[in-house]
Structure 1
Amino acid sequence: MLGFIAILASCASVKYNTTRVHHQDFQQYKTYSWLPPVDSLSKNYLNNDIAKSNILNAANKELEALGMQYSKDNPDILFRYITIVNNKSRMVYSPSYG
């Protein structure tokens, strides 16, 4: 039974959307920092410390690859991210012989 659940969990697809300023020249910015999270009453917002850490680490790597450095005190630009989770599940049935 546990194997069947693991198979179903691995079938879940992840869809994501991003929003950004398309015609912004980010090369003019040398330092960045993160704004605090937005408070929300929605239960669909992700509240998971491990996921938050992974998102920030991935974003920091991308920003550093662009030549930007993290600066808590006096950043040139501030970023914020919002993660909304829409939990969906579907049952997958397979024929059983027995």
Structure 2
Amino acid sequence: MKTRKNLSIAIIVLLSILTGCGIYTEISVSSDASLDFSKYKTFAWLPDDIDTATSPYNNEIIRNNLKNYFGRNFSERGFSVNLDTPDVLLQIVIENKKKEAVYPIYPRTNYYCSYYYCSSYYSPYPYNYYYHHYNNFYCDNKGECTKKTTYVEGSITLNVIDRKQHKIIWSGTAKGDIYDDAYINRDIHPAVLRIMKKFPVKSIERKTTSKPDVVFNH
């Protein structure tokens, strides 16, 4: 009983770690390395496409929250809003794709239960011995079983556009769960932090609060 309890605790801890680490599986950035980004001082947002408010994963509330998150980060980097002649234009692109994942269901040795009272495979429903009748659970003629799940992979892309040159000078993308209420309702969405860490212009607050170099007098 103690061993089974310890195993349950270990599984819970592992799932927590995987959930926490798997929010964003990929961060990608493209940048014009020939530019001096410090010359840009003002920004404004490009208007959204008229069709962006038709999806539960891409609606006006989500987009406005993301604009607030990004706008705050640009302000911390010394940028100010200019609706007339901004140096750069910001654009948010949200994409969602339905995907399938197939996981192996590994056999286990039944040291702590009899054959009739213990399933031979790990399952998210360990006490449902008829789980194999669900469509997302499959066993081949060799006895190897898999579970198939469907999920939505989302991505946030921030495009920074030089208004005068009409070209994208920087772009950052984060893939992951961008619409979870646990993250949408935070002060700063974690995807924004991950993207903005890659931006060439760093936070002014971070610069001023950095520790000075230590000088040793001889």
Structures share fold, TM-score greater than 0.5: yes
Q: Is 2:60 the partner of 1:52? A: no
Assess if the C-alpha contact under 8 Å between 1:33 and 1:72 holds in 2.
yes
For residues 28 and 47 of structure 2, what CA distance do their matches in structure 1 show? 19
**CA spacing shift, 1:73–1:16, aligned 2, 3 Å:** farther
For residues 54 and 69 of structure 1, what CA distance do their matches in structure 2 show? 18
SS in 1 for 2:95: coil
Greater mean deviation of Cα atoms: 64-73 or 21-30: 21-30
Q: Which residue of 2 aligns with 1:4?
A: none
Q: Which residue of 2 aligns with 1:82?
A: 93
* Deviation at residue 51 of structure 1 after TM alignment: 0.8
Q: Which residue of 1 aligns with 2:73?
A: 62
Q: Aligned residues, how many?
A: 86
* Deviation at residue 16 of structure 1 after TM alignment: 5.5
For residues 47 and 28 of structure 2, what CA distance do their matches in structure 1 show? 19
Q: Aligned Cα RMSD in Å?
A: 3.5
Please list the CA deviations of residues 32-62 of structure 1 after superposition, one character each: whole Å capped at 9, or x if unmatched. Answer: 111123467xx88x53122101110111011
* Deviation at residue 30 of structure 1 after TM alignment: 1.0
Q: Which residue of 2 aligns with 1:95?
A: 126
TM-score relative to the length of structure 1: 0.62
* Deviation at residue 70 of structure 1 after TM alignment: 0.8
* Deviation at residue 20 of structure 1 after TM alignment: 3.8
Aligned partner letter, 1:36: P
TM-score relative to the length of structure 2: 0.32
Aligned partner letter, 1:27: S
> Which of 43, 47, 59 is the aligned partner of 1:32?
43
Aligned partner letter, 2:60: D
**CA spacing shift, 1:37–1:18, aligned 2, 3 Å:** farther
**CA spacing shift, 1:18–1:37, aligned 2, 3 Å:** farther
* Deviation at residue 14 of structure 1 after TM alignment: 4.8
SS in 2 for 1:85: strand
* Deviation at residue 26 of structure 1 after TM alignment: 2.0
Aligned partner letter, 1:94: Y
* Deviation at residue 89 of structure 1 after TM alignment: 6.9
Greater mean deviation of Cα atoms: 46-55 or 64-73: 46-55
